[in-house]
Amino acid sequence: MLKSIQRFLIGTLTVSVRGSGSERFLNTVNKEKFKIWDVRKDDSDGLKFEIYRHNFKRLRPAVLKSHVNIHIVKRYGLFHSLRNYRHRYGIIAGMLIISAGVYASSFFIWDVRVSGCETVSVQEILTLLSENGFYAGKAKRGLDVKEIENSFLKNNDKISWISINIKGTTGYVEVREKGETPELIDSKQPCSIYAARDGVIASVDAYMGYSLVGPGDTVTAGDLVVTGNYTDKYGQEYKLHSYAKVMAYTTHSSEVTVPFETTEHVHTGRVKNKYSLKLFGLNIPLYFNSKIIYNNYDVTKSQKQLRITDSLALPLSINKTTYTEVDICKTMKSEQTALQDAYEQLRDFEYDLVGIMVLGREYEETVNEDSVTVKVILNCYEDIGITKIIE
């Protein structure tokens, strides 16, 4: 792509060579410092090749030495195109204005691409970036990327890392979301261990600290189970960094209600598209009537940024809004289907219990006039210890 643009701007010629000294001509040219390319035979047993326009005169010594005939078959490039329109001043002025606009736009960011999102939406990232001064239409000059990255991380607790790179007129933003990792406490910091939830103690392995509970004891959320406070026989008090594994039998429960009556959007096949141009941040509608005659419809939006290369975006995009007519249909689920949907949702709840062993399940079904309700109680085995600093 870049090579094609370069050849268009510089200008190229398709040159034909005829004569018995064609091969000698090629050997002579190949020894020169300038380049020819795409050498091939033409229909009359001659040769054709491509060369930059400004190098054509440099072929003369090789032509004289080889005794061949040479002529230009085709001209290609900006200079040749402008020459054809040299008396059409309006077109030339328009091309100059467009070229000046493209050049001026290269000092701005016109497209921001975000990657690395999983649970956080791209729009949320773009909104926060905009609040910190990084958005489409922002001038590149004086832009402090490191300051924007630091400010972004301070104002978003869902992202642990961000990298912003600017190539051409495109800003590439890569993020990494935070995992749900427990807060780490320095090993020199005194702390105790508390119960994170209700349960019956199965075992306590206290590697550091003193256990206050044993197997079979019942605890509630917030109870102290391993203490870091220690008093020796002389009455001297010490504070330790407790470390223990507190396994307990616990229960987790969830309840799901699924109605019998549901609504569905059924497409009728009627679609209305509306287009608009976004030029330098200004939205220009390409339609006259903004009214939608459909009573019920779904709306989808898309945007196509115009580019010269992948990283060189123009300050011009085509926006498309699609209105799809739908019929809102009410359907009735059978009791069996509603129960299946409820159990499916409860399975998703169980899958989210990471690091917890499920020992058994108890279900309760309730059939109402307009819905079914299913409740599950999971009997589990898990580590309920949570560390807190001793004040």
User: For 213-271, how does the pLDDT look when each residue is reduced to its tens digit (9 = 90+)?
Assistant: 999 999 999 999 999 887 777 778 878 888 899 999 999 999 999 999 988 888 999 99
Q: Give the pLDDT score at 265.
A: 87
Q: Give the pLDDT score at 55.
A: 86
pLDDT-derived band at 86 (thresholds 50, 70, 90) equals low
Task: Tell me if 125 sits within 8 A of 114, measured CB to CB.
Answer: yes
Average pLDDT over residues 139-165: 88
In a 13 Å sphere around the CA of 29, the CA atoms on its Cβ side amount to 25
Of 178, 136, 172, which Cα lies nearest the Cα of 153?
178
Burial of 182 (0-12, 13-18, 19+ CB in 10 A): exposed
- Give the span between the Cα atoms of 170 and 174, in whole angstroms: 13
What does the H/E/C string look like for 298-351? EEEEEEEEEECCCCCEEEEEEEEEEEEEEEEEEEECCHHHHHHHHHHHHHHHHH
pLDDT-derived band at 366 (thresholds 50, 70, 90) equals very high
- Tell me phi and psi for residue 281, to 5 degrees: 85, -5
Average per-residue pLDDT for the chain? 86
When mean pLDDT is compared over 36-40, 72-76, 247-251, the highest value belongs to: 247-251
Contacting residues for 177 by C-beta, under 8 A, at least 6 apart: 116, 117, 118, 119, 120, 158, 159, 160
Per CATH, the number for 2-82 is 3.30.70.260
pLDDT-derived band at 182 (thresholds 50, 70, 90) equals low
Task: Tell me if 36 sits within 8 A of 12, measured CB to CB.
Answer: no
Average pLDDT over residues 367-391: 92
Q: Give the pLDDT score at 389.
A: 87
pLDDT at 180 over 60: no
What is the share, in percent, of the chain residues with pLDDT greater than 70? 92
Task: State which H helix or E strand residue 161 sits in.
Answer: strand 159-167
Helix axis angle for 145-154 and 122-131, nearest 10°, is 120
Q: Give the pLDDT score at 77.
A: 82
For the chain, what is the radius of gyration of the CA atoms?
37
Q: Give the pLDDT score at 95.
A: 67
pLDDT-derived band at 320 (thresholds 50, 70, 90) equals very high
pTM of the model: 0.51
Q: Give the pLDDT score at 1.
A: 53
Of 161, 172, 101, which Cα lies nearest the Cα of 134?
172
Task: Tell me if 228 sits within 8 A of 206, measured CB to CB.
Answer: no
What six digits make up the tokens of 244?
């223990």
DSSP character string of 171-212: EEEEEEEPP-PPPP--TTS-EEEEESS-EEEEEEEEEESEE-
Domains of the chain, by residue range, sit at 2-82, 111-177, 191-248, 265-325
pLDDT-derived band at 365 (thresholds 50, 70, 90) equals very high
CATH architecture of 111-177: Roll (3.10)
Q: Which residue has the higher pLDDT, 336 or 179?
A: 336
Q: How many of the other CB atoms lie within 10 Å of CB of 105?
A: 18
pLDDT at 364 over 90: yes
